[in-house]
Structure 1
Amino acid sequence: MNKCIGFIVIFLLIYVTAISQVANIERTEPPFWWLGMKNPELQLLVKMKNIQDYKVQVNKPGVLLKKVIKADNINYVVLKLQISNNAQSGEYPIQFLSNKDTIILNYELKEKTNDSLAIQGINSSDFIYLLLPDRFSNGDTSNDVIKAMNDSIFSRDSLLSRHGGDIKGIMEHLDYFKELGITAIWTTPVFENNQLFASYHG
């Protein structure tokens, strides 16, 4: 009886150890995709420990694996997939095979909604308002001076200093744009500009 229990314990330890050593998919980019895209090809980035040691297979009809691109890092591969016109929404198992184990990534293809068709670009009928956020409106005074930033000078009397305008100030004046008949806002690039001076333009 004791020998039987000991055998079971040893078996469980071996099983748990084996399970703990099985690789897991750490990352996929993009995490999912849509059907009905104009370009039927999809490049899928997959991260897993030593993933380049695995053979890749896609056996479900609707998705064809065209190529496996190995990155400089052994933990990354890029899968070039082609989605057929007959593909259905749902999960498509992507198998990663090795002599030790098989990892399955169930990659999801979703139905594309018609919302994207309602999005229209800018044309000659639009009235575009070009603005520099710092010079427009100060909606949040708490960020006028940030100690961690190089440019700590805040003065509305200086052309080269920051005046405090921000995104919140723009949002608070949407009615102003509407009254003017503005249909589109074109702001200068929105990013962190940590210059020693004249950082107002970012």
Structure 2
Amino acid sequence: MEYLRDTKEKIIKEARRLFAERGYSATTTAEIARRVGVTDAALYKHFKGKKDIFLACVTPSATVRVDMDAELSPELLRDLIRERVELVRGNLENFNILFRESPYHPELARMFWSQLYTQGKYMEDLLNKFSNKDVSSDRILMYELAITSAIWFILNYEKLQEDVIPKKVAFEDIEEKIADFVLYGMLGDKKHR
């Protein structure tokens, strides 16, 4: 049983790499099997087909949680941003697949959304706490997409800089910079608030 679970995990790991690098259409089950060191038939012991492997690859490994009982403060928002950065960093290949493939596989976006963002009323309550009023669901969606997309882009940009860009842009304390932007806007100056 342990062997089967290990094999399934290896299939997901290698398939995730391939889907992130090449996309769904350019990835074959034969290539996944070759990278794992199993036959094509062995893949089908674990998954019904390529689409099932694909969907298994984008299951997030964590969710964002901060202490809802904590006093409303910039530090609470910073904690939320730190959690989101770690979530995206720890699932970067998943997010790469999600952003690349969602237009072609809407069920992927629905599945990911339900696993990651539909955490009961948690995020709605948290954003309402920050705004001191009821926040509409479309504003919550905009916040979620904007923050997650920005973090995803920055982390990929960091990766791109390692390989391609000669003049590096420093992203130290990225969590703090994002939190300051959310808290204080374009001015980024706490004195203007």
Q: TM-score of the superposition, structure 1-length normalised?
A: 0.23
What TM-score, normalized to structure 2?
Answer: 0.24
Structure (1 or 2) with the greater helix fraction: 2
Q: Which has the higher strand share?
A: 1
Between 1 and 2, higher relative CO (CA 8 Å, sep ≥ 6) is seen in 2
Q: Which has the larger radius of gyration?
A: 1
